[in-house]
Structure formats: structure tokens, C-alpha cells
Structure 1
């Protein structure tokens, strides 16, 4: 807490300030926690990300003495969640990089799905026995709504790496623990797959543990990305003969919309496909009116040139910000599709929805960064957005197209709106 003021930086900071005595700091955190749950003025401010999480816990009525009652998944459901998580492919990597470290440092390594359910657990036998007493076992839910502020649940809410130390945990029974967690995303869709975590006795707290967990999560995403590149290259080999038989403009994509090959259109990496993509006619934001046909390993998308890539009247865009994985869902006369949004793109679309007359690059830079000079970054992000969303967005100034009806779905708790965001226009 910087002794008196708190660590007020981003949530990717380590929980223990450099040079701080862990025992002294834990005692200070305990006093801060006691005051916060009693509604009193604390002797120091918690880190911003912790304070925001505690506010969510109070608004949800989470019991600081014991959390909420939870039940572990049945064996069959646990196996199904493991299969559906998309993380079994990188489990050997996670175990190789963190399993031994967990054993040597009196920690346990945990891998969860996107809902916070513990899928796998490895590491110190003694620490696993202590974890059993807390219900920190395979199949148990470890989201904020069950056990309050913790590295796993709060990382899944914010989409950012987290380290939580001692009384930063909202529930007192967890104050003897320290945890470092990092989310893992699917590079194909941007979908949150889950989190990897190292947890152990509070005395084992270390910034190096936090850095290691972040690095290993990045390695896992890199492995998934490499596997995707390999699959896309294999699809490319079969796509070229398919396109050679097509007259007119067309692309071949994988099931997630990543382009393997194209003919007659400007090169692009990705096409937003319809929700639950199936064969038939569909309006796609970057291409216009198309016919989608299945091919081995993906989809053939043929453009119908008489219809421009501009949404018609009756097109509706739903910006869903109720969870950490923000999405935009679009419906039109030709059908519907959705697209996952990165944290930055979610911020930008939220700001455009709030300003239907549009925002210049300088205005968005001030909104997001508090610095109107950072227009280069804003223009680059808006360029990426427009490649995916096509005719939904207009420029000069940036705005949603006039023919698009926009609705924003917000979380019930104001503090849960884009919890990763530090943008002045969002947090202010």
C-alpha cells in the first residue's frame, strides 16, 4: 500500500510492494479489510482493483466470514468441462512449467475454466490438504460470486493477471493464502478459456511467482496460436482448389472466420461469421450480402456483388457488456452474427454508443487515455475494429452508422461495467 496510500496502479502489479515486510503488510491489510467490511474509514486504501472487487462483494451480499455455499461438480460434469474448456491441449505445458515450481515452493497449481470451476490441481501434498479444508478442490467453483475477491475469480472478471495477498481476499478464511493467477484466451476467437493459478501459504508471496504465472499463461496462448496457424495452413492447401472453381469474389475461412485464402477481394485476416454459422445467405459486416457454404475444415463465403457491405434499415447492434467477455451481436434481415471484443475494443464501442453523433480520434484518445495526443493508437485500434465490423461503423468522426440501432446491455452493478478499464470516460 505504499505504507499509507495504497498501490493505485494497474491490476497487473504484484500484491506486495517492493521492500515491504510481508508480515507487517499482512497486519495492515487485515486492519484495512476489517474497516472496509464494517463500513468504516480504513487506515489505508486498498489497491484500486481490490477496492473495486470489495465493492462488488458488498453489493452482492457476499459473507466476508465464509463466502457463499458452493458444491463441487459431479464427476461427469467435471470431465465434460475439462473437455469443453479448450485447455487440455496446453495442460502438459502448464504442468511442465508450473507443476515443479508449485511442489518446490509449497504451492499448488490450479487450472480453471472460464466460470472459475477448478478443472485440475497439482503441487504440494501438504498444501493440497490445507486447500481441501477450504473446498479448494477439483470441481469447485472459485468465482467472485462464490468465494469473494481472489486471484482466480477477480482475474476472470477483469480479464487481467492478478495477485491477491492475505487480507486482500474478501473472505477471512482465505487470509492465510496468497494467490497469483492469469487468464488464458483462445487466440482464434478471443474467448476467455479459463485461468492458471499458483496458490499457497501467505508466507510464500513473491513478485517472481506472479511474473512466472503471467509468462506461462502467455506461453499457453502462444502454443494455442501456433496450433491454429498449423490448422489454417492445412486448410489453405485445400482452399486454393476450391476457389479456383468459383466465379466472382469469395473467401474460404476456418470455423472461426479466419481466412485461409481468397479471390477477388482485398487481403484480410478475419471475417465475422453468423452466429451458429450454417449454410445459406447472410449479411456479413465486412463483406455485405453473401452465400455461405460448408467446405472441408471451414466455410466458403461467396459475395453477392449487387449488395454493398452496408447495413440496411432494421439492422440492430447489441453491445453486451454484462460479462468480462464483451461481445457485439448484430441482427438484420439477412440473419445474425456476433463477435467477441477485446477489452480495448469494448471500451471504444461503449464510448461510441454513448456519443451517437460521433467522436474524433483526439476525443477518443482523451476518453480512453486522458491524453488527446494519443491519436495514433486510437486510429490503429479503430482500423482493426472497422476491418471486423465493416459497415457498422463510419468515420470522420467515428460513430455507428446511421442505419444501425444500437443498444448497450450493462451489468446490474455499475462497478462491474468494463472492470478492466482505467479509461477516464468509463471510470469517471
Structure 2
């Protein structure tokens, strides 16, 4: 399952790097020529190589993609949500990068290199590879690599030597960890340490992951401060509003509520606008803009039952839930974990017990406490769409699942048995 926290180093414990690189080169060549593999690559690497063959990526050159111009690069930096994390990332990694002959690279969620720091010698080598600010370093552009594959797998990745799909990258080692927005779980991008293959070290991945988590923690602290500032506006606003209402930030986090049971967060549509709307958790509502958020006033009307739900997992980067009914249509971008849970339930129309769902998601039927907590959160978000005992989509809903052509492209970041099985 995504977010399991397991770190898998590219170099096996005790392995000689040069000898292991030669083994990987033979495996890589056999995989490309269709010969019998002398040994199997790591599962995450094998899955990535399979995606590259399907995409037709040239193993000698990758795909030609133009870099960003200076103005677009600056715009991406401002809009990425990563600028606030940059001091933490630099503080935790730059000194190591310079000492260990590495460079630190920060990319956005689309794989575009936004910042690059570290060893000047390694930066010059990276220039020769085209590994510069503004370039696209996603799998679809340069094949299997720690940055692009971490964006797909949604977990920390170390890629060494011939695990890279494109041959010109075999002289490199890289370790990357995803960075998420703590406000909505959205993938912001990846931070990476890259260097010559001979500098590979098993602990590099753990360090990069730890610094990424520290940066996310500081982003979370900044968000809590923003929510406190919104709360100062919310309390006097709600005192003047009659009836049931909540004040939320742009991501649905609740600053204050009046006449309603308190919740941490309200699921919002992908696009919010002032005026009449419908939220699965509340039914009919009116949204009014506030400095730093929204005032949500509940309209006294019967909560309309949705009639159709579309779970779209066809795009590997973002799963979307669309709910339709008499009150209109509402779409919401799903977090990776919620996408996993809803997809598993969609595969089992008769429903799953907490133990069955724990086995589906974690491979461990004993993890029922985690499952119940997540399902409670999902049901608060999505109202009457989900029902308990057993957990399932409501019986009167027309459920449609939109899948990609290849089964392995369904939530490719997920290792949940109920998704991959």
C-alpha cells in the first residue's frame, strides 16, 4: 500500500558496487533484447521497465522534450508549493551533496527540474547528460530513474547504475523521496540526491527521506498557523450568521463551526466557486468567500441521495471521484490512500469486513483499527455514498469504474494486495 514507509535500497547489503553494476547491466540488456533474465530486477524496477517498453522509450536517448524557458521556470517555481520547503531541503542535504560528490535536485509534480545545487563538478557532468534546471525528468521523458519513478510509485526510490532504463544514465546513482502538501495530500514533487555510480551508499535514501519528511512537517506547521489566522476571522463571522455554518480554508480544513458537529475537514469539489453548491457531507450549501477561505452555510433542504458515482483510475497520476444526483455533479481529486480503498470496494460490490479490507490494503487482517478510522473519515467526506456492515458502496448507486487499458497501470504506486491481485 502507498505510504507504507518501507525503504528499499538499490544496493543489496554487503554487495560490491562494481560487481553488482555488471550484474545489473546483464539483466538490463536481457530485458531489452527479450532473452532469458540471468536474475530478476527489483519488482519496482521491473514494473517501471515494463511501462517504458509500453511507452516506446528509446533506451539509448529517452524521449526528446524541450526544457522550460526562464519565465516559465520562474512561474513553475512560484506555483509549485515547494519554495517554502527549499530552505529545509538545502539545509539538510547541500553539505552532504558537496562532500559526497552529489547534487541535490528538486522537481515539481510533473517532473520538471526546478532547482539544482551541490557539487560543481557533478553539476558539469549533469549538464552533459541534459540534467539541468527546466528539463523534464519524469519516466515518460528519461525512462526509469529515482525522480520519475518516485513520482509514479509515490514512495522513496533509489536507482543504481543499469537499473536506469536509458543507457546513458548507467553511470549514475540517485535517491529520491516524494514531497506532499500536508493540507490536501497532493504530491508536490520530489527531492533527489544524484551522483556518479561509484558514490552509491545504502544510507543515502534514508537521509533523503528523513529530510523530505522534515520539510513536510514544516509545511504542516505553516498550515496550522494559517488556520489559526483564519480562525480569528471565523469566530466573529459565525456569530453573525444564523443557522448551521462552517468556516473552512481553501483545502476544506475547518477553522470553526456553528450548529454542527465538529469535524477536521470537509471534502470540497476540485473547483470551488461562490454561490449555491452541493457537498456530499452536507447536501445543499451556499459558499461565500472570506479572506483565506470560505463560509459554508447549509441550506435547509433534504439531503439528496446521489444516483451515480464514477471512480476514474484511468490516469496514473490522479484518481478522481465524480458524484451525480438530483442536486448536480461534484468531482473530487482523491488522495492515493482513499483511491486504493474505494477501488478495492468497487471490486467487491457485496462489501468487505474490516478484517477483509485490512488484508486487501495491508496484507494484514489484524489492522482493523486503521481501516475503521479511514473508513469513518471516508464516510464523513462522502455522505451516503458508502455504508458499513459490511463496508461497501450504497446499494442504490450506479457505480462506474474507469480503468486504463493495462491492469498494471491501475494506481501504479500501490502495492496493496487488493489492488494488485
Structure 1 and Structure 2 fold alike (TM over 0.5): yes
Indicate how the Cα distance of structure 1 residues 407 and 312 shifts in structure 2: closer, same or farther if over 3 A, else same: closer
Deviations 1:139-187 (A, max 9, x none): 1000101110000000001111100000100111100000000111111
Deviation at 1:335, TM superposition (A): 4.0
The answer to whether 1:383 aligns with 2:376 is yes
CA–CA separation in structure 2 for the residues paired with 1:210 and 1:302: 47
| 1:311 alignment partner in structure 2 | 305
The answer to whether 1:355 aligns with 2:332 is no
Deviations 1:42-94 (A, max 9, x none): 11111110011011111111111121112211111111111111111111221
| 2:252 alignment partner in structure 1 | 257
| 1:238 alignment partner in structure 2 | 233
Deviation at 1:317, TM superposition (A): 3.3
CA–CA separation in structure 2 for the residues paired with 1:79 and 1:337: 33
Q: Secondary structure at the match of 2:269?
A: coil
The answer to whether the 8 Å contact 1:251/1:261 transfers is: yes
| 1:201 alignment partner in structure 2 | 196
CA–CA separation in structure 2 for the residues paired with 1:312 and 1:424: 30
Indicate how the Cα distance of structure 1 residues 221 and 302 shifts in structure 2: closer, same or farther if over 3 A, else same: same
User: What 5-or-longer segments of structure 1 have no aligned partner?
Assistant: 1-8
| 1:103 alignment partner in structure 2 | 98
1:23 to 4, 13, 18: 18
The answer to whether 1:395 aligns with 2:379 is no
1:175-324 counterparts in 2 under 5 A? Answer: 175-308=170-303, 311-313=305-307, 315-324=308-317
Question: Taking structure 1 as the reference length, what is the TM-score of the superposition?
Answer: 0.93
The answer to whether the 8 Å contact 1:274/1:335 transfers is: no
The answer to whether the 8 Å contact 1:56/1:413 transfers is: no
Q: Secondary structure at the match of 1:65?
A: coil
Deviations 1:100-129 (A, max 9, x none): 211111000100010101011111111111
The answer to whether the 8 Å contact 2:106/2:191 transfers is: yes
Question: Taking structure 2 as the reference length, what is the TM-score of the superposition?
Answer: 0.95
CA–CA separation in structure 2 for the residues paired with 1:51 and 1:316: 34
Query: RMSD of aligned C-alpha atoms?
Result: 1.8
Deviation at 1:293, TM superposition (A): 1.3
| 1:4 alignment partner in structure 2 | none
Q: Secondary structure at the match of 1:40?
A: coil
With 380-389 and 130-139 compared, the bigger mean Cα shift is at 380-389
Deviation at 1:321, TM superposition (A): 4.6
The answer to whether the 8 Å contact 1:106/1:124 transfers is: yes
The answer to whether the 8 Å contact 2:175/2:192 transfers is: yes
| 1:85 alignment partner in structure 2 | 80
CA–CA separation in structure 2 for the residues paired with 1:83 and 1:336: 32
CA–CA separation in structure 1 for the residues paired with 2:249 and 2:329: 18
CA–CA separation in structure 2 for the residues paired with 1:269 and 1:48: 37
| 2:153 alignment partner in structure 1 | 158
Indicate how the Cα distance of structure 1 residues 312 and 416 shifts in structure 2: closer, same or farther if over 3 A, else same: closer
The answer to whether the 8 Å contact 2:309/2:321 transfers is: no
Deviation at 1:410, TM superposition (A): 2.3
The answer to whether the 8 Å contact 1:167/1:175 transfers is: yes
1:33 to 28, 35, 55: 28
